[in-house]
Chain A
Amino acid sequence: MAGLLRSPLVLARNTLRASAVRACPPALIRTYRIDVKPTKKTSAAQDNEKAQASTTTQDSKYRIEKPSAAVVAFAHRLGLNQLKDQTLLLRIVTHPSYEKVGIATNERLDYLGAKVLDMFVLEYLHTKYPKMPTKMLQDVVSTYTKSSTLALMAKEFGVEDVARWIRSKPELEHQLAFNTVKASVVRATVGALYVDQGPIKAREFIHAHFLSREFDLVQLLEIEEPKLYLSFLMKRLGRERPVARLMSETGRHSKAPVFIVGVYSGTEKMGEGFGSSLKMAEFRANKDALTKYYLEEQKDFGLPSDVEVQGAVYTPTKVGDTPVVV
């Protein structure tokens, strides 16, 4: 017989393989997951009920989708399980690029959330730093609310798993970036909380997730000529003109000198600086004095939006002086 000869080992292996395939029927080889499938049209009564419960307008016919396990997990991670309208969940994570008939997108919530976020971040920083120059305040607020920060926060929230979007076609000039989508989801979360739970819950969310983050503000304070600005400031405040005094030094004629200079207004020390030269140390001392003045923090302050909180008493804080004009 000129048939194909196989060794006993090969024959045994093939038998085993065949038996394994027979023993595991195809039905078992499935991942058990909640499907995101649009349900068939429900009865009129159910439709009505759902329309009343949701925050969408009455005449819009959105597909009733069941959120996937990933979306539900995302909601619980951020405390969005408390939303009264759970259809907002899928709306939050759907970018407008995910254009399919009957799917709600996060465009409106994104815009709303952007404004709410700006408002509450600004309110907090304005009250906490009354003397901060306005230009710097704008920079700080933008650092907390800009898209790149939000994209980073989105990764930490786990938005990458749940965001629904479609990449732009390759021939298009302007390509949609994933970071843009992620930032929109974060803003939409804020917007959804505001719409569903009210301003105070939105504020709590922003304080807990955005303002709790650590950021060194000093790097955003831009002063070109500290000595000049400080002397003008002292004049405006009606105090004695600033004088720089050498407090201590070491290694003056060596390779690595260190000078500690303090700037005094009368007997009160305004600021201190170190440097490898006297000029450098004086520069730093003047800068330190200005930093201490402009970035003075308020402790135990109330916010204007406290009036929304039941039982809270809001005493307005004095608006700080504008920075000195040179």
Chain B
Amino acid sequence: MPAPLHPVLKNGVGAFIPQCRRLVFHYCERSGSSRGMIEYLKKDLIQFAKEHPHVEVIVTPRPSKHPVIRGLYLNGKDKVVCVRNMEPTDIAGKVALLKESAGNRMKVFKKPVISTTESVRGIWSPFHAAPHKI
């Protein structure tokens, strides 16, 4: 008999664990592309960090490079977004995008419902249905 599987996480069924664990903000003091980023860091970042205490926020200068936001997730993966020449409102949008995401790759979901449990009424079976009568 094969070894039984471990109990699988169903995020949100009992408790919800937000998947974003860390956001790292890189900016350059001198470059023009970081202007919006620096404004965001001064104006909006602290409020964001207070509202989302489960996310570790790190700010690091990265000279002579475009401003970048890196989101790190609980599955070990990360997402990097370059925010060069963006205004603080747009940057806030990107931050929200990273914060709400999980580490998985963006996938197109073709089905409206994805579930591990069978349907309530059961899948149709030819052995259990009455034969077709004309």
Residues of A within 8 A of B (CB): 20, 23-24, 28-33, 69-70, 72-73, 76-79, 81, 139, 143-144, 148-149, 152-153, 155-158, 161, 205, 207-216, 219-220, 222, 247-248, 250, 258, 260, 274
> A214 with B116: in contact, given A29-B63, A156-B9, A157-B17 (CB under 8 Å)?
yes
> A211 with B30: in contact, given A73-B53, A220-B4 (CB under 8 Å)?
no
Please state if B15 and A212 are interface contacts (CB–CB under 8 Å).
Answer: yes
CB distance from A132 to the nearest CB of B (A): 15
Please state if A209 and B15 are interface contacts (CB–CB under 8 Å).
Answer: yes
Please state if A73 and B60 are interface contacts (CB–CB under 8 Å).
Answer: no
Main secondary structure of the interface of A (DSSP, over half): helix
8 Å CB contact of A143 from B6, B116, B127, B128: B6
Please state if A212 and B64 are interface contacts (CB–CB under 8 Å).
Answer: no
Closest A-chain residue to B4, C-beta based?
Answer: A219
CB distance from B19 to the nearest CB of A (A): 9
Other A-B pairs, 18, CB within 8 Å; known A32-B60, A76-B53, A143-B6: A20-B64, A29-B61, A32-B58, A69-B56, A69-B57, A72-B53, A72-B56, A73-B55, A149-B6, A156-B17, A212-B14, A214-B116, A215-B5, A219-B1, A248-B127, A250-B127, A258-B127, A260-B127
Closest B-chain residue to A211, C-beta based?
Answer: B14
Closest A-chain residue to B25, C-beta based?
Answer: A32
Q: How far is A81 from B7 in the complex, measured between Cα atoms in Å?
A: 26
Q: How far is A221 from B125 in the complex, measured between Cα atoms in Å?
A: 26
Closest A-chain residue to B28, C-beta based?
Answer: A24
Please state if A73 and B21 are interface contacts (CB–CB under 8 Å).
Answer: yes
Closest A-chain residue to B24, C-beta based?
Answer: A31
Please state if A214 and B10 are interface contacts (CB–CB under 8 Å).
Answer: yes
The bracket for how many chain B residues form the interface is 20 to 34
Sample of 21 A–B contacts (CB below 8 Å): A20-B64, A24-B29, A30-B61, A31-B60, A69-B58, A70-B22, A73-B21, A73-B53, A73-B55, A143-B6, A148-B6, A158-B74, A161-B21, A205-B15, A212-B13, A213-B7, A213-B14, A215-B7, A220-B4, A258-B127, A274-B127
Please state if B9 and A213 are interface contacts (CB–CB under 8 Å).
Answer: yes
- Answer yes or no: B106 CB below 8 A from chain A CBs: no
Closest B-chain residue to A28, C-beta based?
Answer: B61
Q: Which of A29, A30, A79, A214 has the most CB of B within 10 A?
A: A214
Please state if A156 and B74 are interface contacts (CB–CB under 8 Å).
Answer: yes
Please state if A158 and B21 are interface contacts (CB–CB under 8 Å).
Answer: yes
CB distance from B118 to the nearest CB of A (A): 12
Q: Which of B9, B13, B30, B58 has the most CB of A within 10 A?
A: B9
CB distance from A210 to the nearest CB of B (A): 8
Q: How far is A36 from B58 in the complex, measured between Cα atoms in Å?
A: 15
